[in-house]
A and B are shown apart, each in its own frame.
Chain A
Amino acid sequence: MAKSNYRPPRLTLPVGERDHVEGPSNARMVLVEYGDYQCPYCGAAYPIVKRVQKELGTRLQFVFRNFPITTSHPQAEWAAETAEAAAAQGRFWEMHDFLYENQASLSNHGFFADYAKKLKLDVKRLEQEVAQHVHLGRVREDFMGGVKSGVNGTPTFFIGGARYDGYPGFGPLITALETAEKG
């Protein structure tokens, strides 16, 4: 295998204003995830990313982008657009977390509407935006940006703009982020 001269693909769509971001914009470490809310591997990575964020604190900026593979995951597009509709009311991360924490219930849309109500969101507006696919273009833009950056499946992580091809465990991610920080 021609591993020695292998260079992982890089993000073609740089992190910017359009992104959903946790952590300071001047953080030295940037972790970008392309994820699918119905993908079991993304579900498994979710608590690991949380642990990584807790460990690195303000040294890390975390960015989430949509990569729903709807041919395998019929609820993935709905979930992505629901998170984007919550984002339109300033509550992206709450809905993002809730979707991953309740992956088994994704087909029960009412359950998520109840949560939106708990967040004091305008539920009618949220449901309307999802039904009318107001955020479909945004989700598609994330998806195609991912495809052009070498995202092949989910979850795919980028560290410092380069695709991370290693195992997405806590230790390996911390090591890769710290290595990238040192440049």
Chain B
Amino acid sequence: MKEFQTKNQKVSPLKPGTKAPNFTLKTTPDQHVSLRDFLGRPVVLCFYPADWSPVCSDQLGLYAQLMSEFRKFDAELLGVSVDGVWSHLAFSKDRNLNFPLLSDFDPKGAISRTYGVFTERNGESARALFVIDSKGIIRWSYLSPDGVNPGADGILSALEKLKPPGRGE
């Protein structure tokens, strides 16, 4: 996993082989999502800096388009940023997103920090991706340079490399 400076702030995503730290975050004003809810299925965790910025929108719009491909691996996709749930709701509706956006809002960026992808200088999550296997182990992580859409090819090849999800194990 390469590390590099994101606006002078060293960001270092958790490496493959690490157990993915559990979290519980709000996805709507009255609903929470926990990572452990998805044990038994792969999870794609997508940290991004902010709702509404054009690069994110492009990235998340592409993922919405690709949900049927992710589903072929029985994978769940979760977006995470420091935006509040009301922003997430409006953004998700505007862009027709078909996967949950989680709010790493209070305490701000706590989960992003745990995953090593919080940029102190911007006060936002970095643009980082994790593919977590059905047993909750990080199998692939990627940190994208600022302003560069990381796309989906890396996610798809990481999912292809996972063994079929171990249902009932």
Question: Which residues of chain A have a CB within 8 Å of any CB of chain B?
Answer: 1-3, 9, 69-72, 143-144, 147-153
Contact = CB atoms under 8 A, between A and B. Distances in A.
A93 B97 CA distance: 32
A9 B153 CA distance: 10
B66 interface: yes
B149 A71 contact: no
B98 A71 contact: yes
B102 to A, nearest CB: 19
Interface in B57-80: 58-59, 61-62, 64-66, 69
A151 B59 CA distance: 10
Interface string B34-75: 000000000000000000000000110110111001000000
A49 B32 CA distance: 47
Contact of B65 (A2, A9, A70, A150): A70
A149 B153 contact: yes
Given A1-B146, A2-B4, 8 more contacts: A2-B2, A71-B98, A143-B65, A147-B62, A147-B69, A147-B152, A152-B150, A152-B152
A152 B64 CA distance: 12
Contacts of B4: 1-2
Interface of B: 2, 4-5, 58-59, 61-62, 64-66, 69, 95-98, 145-146, 149-153, 156
A132 B107 CA distance: 51
Contacts of B62: 69, 147, 152-153
11 contacts: A2-B2, A9-B153, A69-B61, A69-B62, A72-B95, A144-B69, A147-B62, A147-B66, A147-B156, A148-B153, A152-B149
The main secondary structure of chain A at its interface with chain B is loop
Contacts of A72: 61, 95-96
Given A2-B2, A72-B61, A153-B58, A147 B97 contact: no
Given A144-B69, A147-B66, A71 B153 contact: no
A182 B144 CA distance: 31
A32 B123 CA distance: 38
